[in-house]
Structure 1
Amino acid sequence: MAKKPKLTQRQKRQVAANRNRRLQDKQESPESNSPVADEASLLSGQVIGRFGKHADVEDADGVVARCHIRRTIDSVVCGDKVFFSKGADSESGVSGVIEIVEDRHSLLSRPDFYDGVKPIASNIDQIIIVSAVVPSLSLNIIDRYLVACEDIGIQPIIVLNKVELLSAEEREDAIAQLATYTSLGYEVLFTSCKNSEGLASLNACLKDKISIFVGQSGVGKSSLINQILPNADELVGDVSDNSGLGQHTTTAAKLLHLPAGGDLIDSPGIREFNLWHIPVERVTSGFIEFRDYLGGCKFRDCKHLNDPGCLLREAVERGEISAARYASYHKILATLEEQRPSYTNPY
């Protein structure tokens, strides 16, 4: 039997407020016409899937209920710990209502041109940044993800997939390119779904943690998930011969339980991770090797480019900071303004 949750005083007040609000509201939408919940009827669970206006919630016994979401809740994403009420199965298959989302210890969001900053998943322990030699190995894309990870304080792991396609010479070049990240303390794995290289190490990293895979389409995220969890029934899309870009194969966010322990959140792919929602100062500090030099430049408004007395540029010239990472940083800054939407209505 699932245990009744112990609510905090704040959560009890929230339940009471929600209940009173619903009792007084005579204009409820069809999605929230379920009976008003009280504290005694609530169960605790975890969101394992999000589908449009509904979410799948798994209780402590492993039973999954598809739930409506109270209109008073701002957002619900995979990984959320929630309190929900259960009812009889309806014809639509929806049999519960999410009443409260517990406080999150981490939240991964991505900027959306139309919706602003859009939450993707919560309560994540680590982000698996997947890149590949096909479509291409882009260090700038990796840097974007690393900035996002550093900004929200979630540990990243870098995975280079499809390494079976590399010649010996190309492999040495990839190792040299990624050596900068290992020197900074980031974990880097080489994997292949064809010959199983690196999969044991990847499984060890995932054990007992909540992880999410991110990366461009076509890098093999779904193929890796199929190797890690064969029963996940992920769709695998071939890389387009014409464009070199992969086809989006994941259509809805879901949380998958790993046999050895831990969970994996699979979310629709992102071809490019924009950072226009992060202030320039936080983008700069997202390059961890820059931090020892920040605040020491001659001018307080130093752009860290051609400014006199710039400690960052001097560190690059002395070889203390990677010239490639420094160039990648300025490439990111150059794209921030052009990617940032104005939200101005032209009509």
Structure 2
Amino acid sequence: MAARSHSPMDDMAKRRLNHQQQRRIARKQARQADGSGRRGLVIAHHGREVAVESQDGDDLGTLHRCHFRANLGTLVAGDEVVWHPTEDGHGVVEALAERRSLLERPDRRGRLKPVAANIDRVFLMIAVEPEPHDNLIDRYLVAAELVGLEPVLLLNKTDRISDDNRPALSQLLQRYEALGYHTAQTSQNDSATALHHLFMGHTSIVAGQSGVGKSSLIRRLLSDDRIRTGAVSDSTGRGTHTTTTAQLYHLPAGGDLIDSPGIREFALGHLELADLTWGFREIRPLTTQCRFRDCRHRKEPGCAVKAAFEDGRVSPERAHSFERIRHEIEATS
């Protein structure tokens, strides 16, 4: 009988244990917090301070500038905390509640940096301009799959679709729909009402490269102009970075939305091969069919993944993304 490769979940056990330890620490911190502590929600992180929205008391919904205890680590938008008012009118965060989810990405040094907490849906925003790239989409999808969040591929600026770009855009969306991913489309001409159903009842994060219209979308959802947007250069089609830190917004029709900084690259070099195969949902079940447990999915005999690449069960675009990300992982290991 051919040997079966191990499940990626086996390789993730150590990280899961680490997450369990972190949750125990969070519960202990919450118990140790003074009973007079106030419940709060982190709206944004600014340097050594966080903007905390009061979740109880007479000042419900009021924002407070708060310092936080060093042992809490990095606080991010969406974190639920226990805080105390201070005499200067600000506050101190004493404890961090257990996180239901945490989205992270590596910084320039390869260290994982928290982006947003307690979210359940990720909107991967792409646009007709700048042209969407499969590899960047797949990087975000891998990250969402590993965290266990529901990804939605949102195509913006559909008013700019032409006969020239329509076929490629249709093929791109159909490729991800065939994998079971939800897709949606919007444009500057759509009313905010037409968009609310996508976000209602969820705590969502909008991610994507600069220039795709993330901040403009949020401004429409909020029905005001509190968010400053950057112009897309006519010569390059690339946007300027206008959001420097993730920030949480309450939507008028219900639901919360976190705007994350626009980025042009999304490095996944900190992952292991088992993480990568788990992040590609059509490749995930194939790994149990490989002849060898330690199959690297290259030229090994009996590799089910390689066979799927060759016979087209995995699309050429997705296969290319997988190979490219794997090369990045191996280069940094």
Quote the residue 2:12 is aligned against. Answer: none
Closer, same or farther in 2 for the Cα pair 1:101/1:309, shift >3 Å?
A: same
- Measured at CA, do residues 254 and 101 of structure 1 come closer, stay the same or move farther in structure 2, by a change above 3 Å? same
Partner in structure 1 of residue 148 of structure 2: 153
Preserved CA contact (<8 Å) 1:225 1:232: no
Structure 1 residues 165-193: Cα deviation after superposition (integer angstroms, max 9, x where no partner): 11135223211122111011111112211
CA RMSD of aligned residues (A): 2.1
1:281-313, Cα deviation, whole Å (9 max, x unpaired): 111110001122112212333232333222122
Q: Which residue of 2 aligns with 1:139?
A: 134
Q: List, as ranges, runs of 4+ consecutive aligned residues in structure 1 with deviation greater than 6 Å.
A: none
* Match among 83, 106, 112 for residue 111 of structure 1: 106
Check the 8 A contact 1:229/1:258 in 2, yes or no.
yes
CA distances 1:194-226 after superposition (whole Å, capped 9, x unpaired):
x218x6554212001111111111111111111
Shift of 1:331: 1.3
SS for the counterpart of 1:284 is helix
**Who is 1:10 aligned against?**
28
Q: Which residues of structure 2 form unaligned runs of 5+?
A: 1-25
Determine whether 1:181 maps to 2:199: no
1:319 and 2:312 are equivalent in the alignment: yes
Counterpart contact for 1:51–1:253, Cα < 8 Å: no
Distance 1:120 1:186 in 2: 22
Aligned-pair distance for 1:13?
A: 5.0
| 2:116 match: secondary structure | strand
Give the distance between the partners of 1:235 and 1:200, measured in 2 at CA: 21
Identify which range, 56-65 or 169-178, moves more after superposition: 169-178
CA contact (8 A) 2:49 2:67 kept: yes
Q: What corresponds to 1:196 in structure 2?
A: 190
Which residue is equivalent to 1:129?
Answer: 124
> How far, CA to CA, are the matches of 1:80 and 1:12 in structure 2?
13
The answer to whether 1:209 aligns with 2:187 is: no
Q: Secondary structure at the match of 1:223?
A: helix
Corresponding position: 1:228 with 2:221: yes
Corresponding residue pairs, total? 304
Asked if 2 retains the 8 angstrom alpha-carbon contact of 1:42 and 1:83, the reply is: yes
Aligned to 1:332: 325
Query: TM-score scaled by structure 2?
Result: 0.85
Q: TM-score, normalised on structure 1?
A: 0.82
The answer to whether the 8 Å contact 1:48/1:78 transfers is: yes
Map of 1:80 onto structure 2: 79
Q: Matched residues in 1 for 2:309 and 2:135: separation?
A: 17
Cα distance, 1:128 vs structure 2: 0.6
Kept in 2, the 8 Å contact 1:189–1:202? The answer is no
1:42: how far off? Answer: 0.6
Contiguous gaps of at least 5 residues in structure 1: 1-7, 16-38, 343-347
* Higher RCO by CA contacts (8 Å cutoff, separation 6 or greater): 2
Tell me what 2:11 maps to.
none
Establish whether residue 272 from structure 1 lines up as the match of residue 272 from structure 2. no
Q: Deviations over 1:19-64 (max 9, x none)?
A: xxxxxxxxxxxxxxxxxxxx24310111112111101111121122
Q: Percent identity between the aligned chains?
A: 43
Give the deviation of 1:102 after TM superposition: 0.4
CA contact (8 A) 2:30 2:95 kept: no
> How has the CA–CA distance of structure 1 residues 241 and 168 changed in structure 2, closer, same or farther, with 3 Å as cutoff?
closer
